[in-house]
Chains A and B, each alone.
Chain A
Amino acid sequence: MTSAIAAVRSALPFAALIGVWWGIKDVTGVPDTMLAAPPAVWNAFVVLLTHGILAEYAAASLRMIGLSALISFLIGVPLGFAVGTNRYAARALEGTLRFVQGISGIAWLPLAILWFGFTGATTLTIVIYTLIVPIIFNTMTGVRAIPENYTLALRSLGAGRLRIMWDVYLPGALPSIVVGMRLGMGYGWRALIASEMLVRQGGLGDLIFGARTFGQIDRIMVGMIVIGTLYIVVDRLLVAPIEALTLQRWGVLRR
């Protein structure tokens, strides 16, 4: 019952938005090459969906972000542990990481294109570059927040480095790592779309930028809606529950 009310409540502003959008289109009479009317966008959506085009482009984007997230996790978390636990590693890497953070992934796109051409490798490099920095920083913050007593307790019981990493650092830093993953996926998703626009080898960014060259505004708007919806679905239905779960299970450790 309450969920039905909530659904109506969140659908209402979108209904209002569509009303305003339709009104603007009707009253001002802007040409279809600038703004498509809601029915046209719906038709384009149906066409893209039934021909399997939408599924193909969306799957390419989702595969790429998933692969990037996996690789960034596997490299970023150990690096974050190193920077978080070793003051020499921290001293050596922190400044460079902050500088690198100021150069967005997209800025490296021209160089990546020279190196790897207009291929998936270019996009993968850019997205990993974007995704990995928040993972490293959040892993580092998480590890630093673990009370030293836990490490000392395990060490006095004779545990080695690996054991401490597995039993103290990983569970202790996990909530923070998940926060980093969530942030990174947000930044990475945007970098992915931008990269796909320029590389033009599939993916939703390619879909909307390609539609632009044919002036298919209705397709662009379908693509934008799908990009936003997929991001929200992945973030709310996949990443947020994992975050809540880790906080529930391991978050207590930090107190």
Chain B
Amino acid sequence: MTSSKLLWRLLPTLPAATILLAWYLWFVIAPPPPSVMPTIGAVPETLFNLAIDGRLPADIAASMARLLGGVALGVSTGIAAGFLAGLCRPIAAFFNPLIVFFNAISGIVWLPLVIGWFGVGSPLALFLIWNTVFFIVFQNTVLGVQLVPEVLEQSVRTLGGGRWETIRSVILPGALPYILSGIRSGLGFGWRALIAAELVGATTGLGQLIFSGAEYHRADVIIGGCLLIGAIAMAMDRWLLAPIERRTVVRWGLVARSSGGHNR
């Protein structure tokens, strides 16, 4: 009983343990050159060295600043445009083909063109993140706004509420859960776009760190950097976005659900 419980506890560590074991055995059987694969110990050591010589904190700070700036731009423009399109259907219908097309080329596809506009550096990364986040937040906002039951809007109007009152007290809270889930996935894709942008379009940042690892044949830098990229993405999602989303769903998600029940 206790042993099976222990097994259950340890099960999530199995893939990592398998990888570490294979990694270790690789070095025991046929040690690869350090440019192909570092020893297991070299990865934390390299990260530690990069951290104390200040390169790693600087790269993380540069990436986070770009991410925050780009996501803030994408979220604000995405929500504004989403409300406009959600509330005014003719506008949405007219622009829809353009949205479909630009969504298909959003993000990294722009890199060769806009590198000539902004040069290498933060503005380029900001543009690519904005371009990625905008469409996700936009589409979620439109969906959220359009899914608010009309009965709720009408009831506010019957009680004498104006257009602005309806938007503020019905549509905004009703659409908020969708908007937030848009922001959540927007941040995830923005992070990916940032790393891709930094590979060639920046001189600092985590993407540049791992790309320079390829240039100098430093597999330890690349693997350490990738693990860090994953850890930061996971931490942001778990400790920042998931709680916010949960809270709004608890606070406002009920509005849509109970009224949906009354409608049918």
Interface residues of A (CB under 8 A from B): 9-14, 17, 33-34, 88, 91-96, 98-100, 102-104, 106-111, 113-115, 190, 193-194, 197-198, 208-209, 211-212, 215, 217, 220-221, 223-224, 227-229, 231-232, 235
Are the C-beta atoms of A34 and B116 separated by less than 8 Å? yes
A243 CB, min distance to chain B CBs, angstroms: 16
CB distance from B181 to the nearest CB of A (A): 15
Residues from chain B with Cβ under 8 Å of A229 in the complex = 101, 104
Question: Does B42 sit at the interface, judged by CB under 8 A?
Answer: no
**Given A100-B230, A103-B230, A110-B213: A227 in contact with B97 (beta carbons within 8 A):** no
B18 → chain A closest CB, angstroms: 9
Contact, CB under 8 Å: B195 / A104: yes
- Chain A residues in 8 Å Cβ range of B199: 106, 109-110, 198
Q: Are B222 and A103 in contact (CB under 8 A)?
A: no
Q: Would you give the 0/1 interface string for B8-33, flagging 1 where the beta carbon is closer than 8 Å to chain A?
A: 10011011100000000000000000
Is the C-beta of B219 less than 8 angstroms from some C-beta in chain A? yes
Let me know if B15 and A110 touch, CB within 8 A: no
Are A228 and B15 touching (Cβ within 8 A)?
A: no
A96 / chain B contacts, CB cutoff of 8 Å: 12, 15-16
On whether the beta carbons of B113 and A102 are closer than 8 Å, the reply is: no
B58 contacts the other chain (Cβ, under 8 Å)? no
Which of B8, B107, B116 is close to A217, meaning CB atoms less than 8 Å apart? B116
Is the CB of B200 closer than 8 A to any CB of chain A?
yes
Check B117 for interface membership: any CB of A closer than 8 A.
Answer: yes
For B206, the closest partner residue in chain A by CB is A107
Q: Does B50 contact A (CB under 8 A)?
A: no
- Among the interface residues B116, B211, B225, B232, which one has the most CB atoms of the partner chain A within 10 A? B116
* Cβ–Cβ < 8 Å partners of B237 in chain A: 102
How many Å from the CB of A127 to the closest CB on chain B? 13
How far is it, in angstroms, between the C-alpha of A119 and the C-alpha of B29 when the chains are bound?
27
Pairs across A and B, CB under 8 Å, 14 listed: A9-B97, A14-B101, A102-B191, A103-B230, A106-B192, A107-B195, A110-B199, A110-B210, A110-B214, A111-B222, A111-B226, A115-B36, A217-B116, A221-B113
Q: Is the CB of A104 within 8 A of B192?
A: yes
SS of A interface (majority): helix
Contacts of A115 in B (CB 8 A): 36
Say yes or no: A13 contacts B214, CB within 8 Å. no
Asked if A231 contacts B104 (CB within 8 A), the reply is yes
Given the complex, which residues of B lie within 8 Å of A198, measured CB to CB?
199-200
Residues from chain B with Cβ under 8 Å of A197 in the complex: 108, 111-112, 200
- What B residues does A108 contact at CB under 8 A? 226
B234 close to A (CB within 8 Å) = yes
- Given the complex of chains A and B, what is the CA–CA distance between A225 and B210 in angstroms? 30
Chain A positions within 8 Å of B219 at CB level: 111, 114
Query: By the criterion CB–CB under 8 Å, are A111 and B223 in contact?
Result: yes
Task: Take A91-B11, A91-B12 as given contacts and tell me if A113 and B214 are in contact as well, using a CB distance cutoff of 8 Å.
Answer: yes
Contacts of B229 in A (CB 8 A): 102-104, 107
Shortest CB-to-CB span from B220 to chain A, Å, is 11
Chain B residue with Cβ nearest A113: B214
From known contacts A103-B229, A114-B35, infer whether A13 and B195 are also in contact, taking CB-CB under 8 Å: no
Chain B residues with CB under 8 A of A208: 109, 112-113
Complex Cα spacing A221 to B110, Å: 9
In the complex, are the beta carbons of B214 and A224 less than 8 A apart?
A: no
Per the bound structure, the CA–CA distance linking A17 and B109 in Å amounts to: 19
Residue-wise interface mask of B (91-113) relative to A, using a CB-CB cutoff of 8 A (1 in contact, 0 not):
00111111011101101111111
In the complex, chain B residues 215-244 whose Cβ is within 8 Å of any chain A Cβ: 217, 219, 222-223, 225-227, 229-234, 237
B255 at the interface (CB under 8 A from A): no
Q: What is the CA–CA distance of A203 and B105 in the complex, to the nearest angstrom?
A: 15
**Which B-chain residue is minimally distant from A109 (CB atoms)?**
B199
Q: In angstroms, how far is the closest chain B Cβ from the Cβ of A83?
A: 12
Residues A224 and B105 in contact, CB atoms below 8 Å apart: yes
Within the complex, what minimum Cβ distance (angstroms) separates B218 from chain A? Answer: 9
| Residues of chain A lying within 8 A (CB to CB) of residue B75 | none
Q: State in angstroms the CA–CA spacing of A88 and B102 once bound together.
A: 42
Residue in chain A with minimal CB distance to B236:
A102
Partner of A114 from the list B12, B96, B214 (CB cut-off 8 Å) is B214
